[in-house]
């Protein structure tokens, strides 16, 4: 599987001096933000999607070779029943904004997708490593399954309340959909902070600096503390990373 993973990365990154090799994300992988279950990290967005330099491409491939085995070991230790064989894909469709997300294929295999513009935007291998470790941590912690359970429970409650009130079938369905949306977001900020903490540990174990890796939080829009927002404030995330690293004896 690791040879297969390297081929995917090489195919997507080999021709960067000209144009990207056509390599779309397989149809079975839902796009970031779909309701089928993904965990994504919003990152800097440029007006025109940049293309990584050859140096950035090489650094990315080298980073994956170091971080993925560490993430896999952490996954097997913490969640022995899970499929821990991560597949790392590069979505090189032109014009996509900087983004990374974690999802599952139909067999439950974890997939982490980077866009080319994200690889270009991240300023050093430590930032690359932290993003990969963060996304892998969503799978290690089972966040997709937990989000889906929260959505199903809230959908049942909202739909049940609508039914008791004598609402029409259509209104009950709308209430259930609203409940699913609320339920899926209920613990999303908590999940992000959990992934930041575990991602810090994976980053360190792979030999990268999570404090340097967290610097991109100072370059992206701050989501603040919006009601039913999906991500915590940037300052809270950086604080989580700093405290976790310090607890592991690392201060930079």
pLDDT tens for the chain, residues 1 to 252: 554 444 445 444 443 322 222 233 333 344 333 333 555 555 544 445 678 888 999 999 999 999 999 999 999 999 899 999 999 999 988 888 889 999 999 899 999 999 999 999 999 999 999 999 999 999 999 987 776 655 554 445 544 555 666 767 676 666 555 544 544 455 478 889 999 999 999 999 999 999 999 999 988 877 765 544 456 889 999 999 999 999 999 988
Length of the chain: 252
What are the DSSP E strand ranges found in the chain?
39-42, 87-91, 99-104, 110-115
- Residue 214 near residue 208, CB atoms below 8 Å: no
The strand pair at 110-115 and 87-91 is best described as parallel
**Cα(107)–Cα(84) distance, rounded to whole angstroms?**
12
Chain centroid to Cα 42, Å, comes to: 9
**Cα(227)–Cα(42) distance, rounded to whole angstroms?**
17
Find, among 126, 133, 135, the residue nearest to 56 by Cα: 126
Find, among 161, 159, 215, 153, the residue nearest to 184 by Cα: 153
DSSP-derived 3-state class of residue 39 = strand
């Amino acid at each position: 599987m690791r040879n297969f993973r390297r081929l995917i990365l090489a195919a997507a990154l080999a021709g960067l001096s000209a144009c990207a090799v056509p390599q779309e994300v397989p149809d079975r992988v839902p796009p970031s933000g779909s309701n089928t279950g993904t965990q994504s990290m919003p990152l800097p967005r440029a007006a025109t999607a940049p293309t990584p330099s050859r140096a950035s491409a090489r650094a990315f491939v080298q980073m994956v070779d170091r971080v993925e085995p560490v993430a896999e070991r952490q996954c097997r230790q913490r969640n022995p029943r899970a499929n821990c064989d991560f597949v790392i894909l590069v979505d090189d469709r032109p014009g996509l904004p900087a983004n990374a997300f974690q999802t599952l294929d139909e067999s439950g295999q974890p997939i982490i997708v980077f866009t080319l513009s994200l690889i270009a935007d991240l300023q050093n291998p430590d930032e690359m490593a932290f993003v990969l470790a963060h996304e892998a941590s969503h799978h290690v912690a089972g966040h997709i399954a937990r989000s889906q359970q929260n959505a199903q429970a809230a959908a049942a409650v909202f739909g049940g309340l609508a039914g008791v009130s004598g609402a029409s079938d259509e209104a009950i369905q709308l209430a259930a959909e609203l409940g699913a949306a609320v339920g899926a977001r209920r613990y999303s900020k908590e999940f992000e902070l959990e992934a930041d903490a575990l991602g810090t540990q994976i980053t360190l174990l792979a030999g990268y600096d999570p404090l340097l890796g967290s610097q991109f939080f100072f370059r992206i829009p701050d989501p603040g503390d919006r009601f039913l927002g999906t991500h915590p404030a940037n300052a809270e995330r950086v604080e989580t990373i700093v405290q976790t690293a310090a607890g592991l004896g690392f201060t930079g």
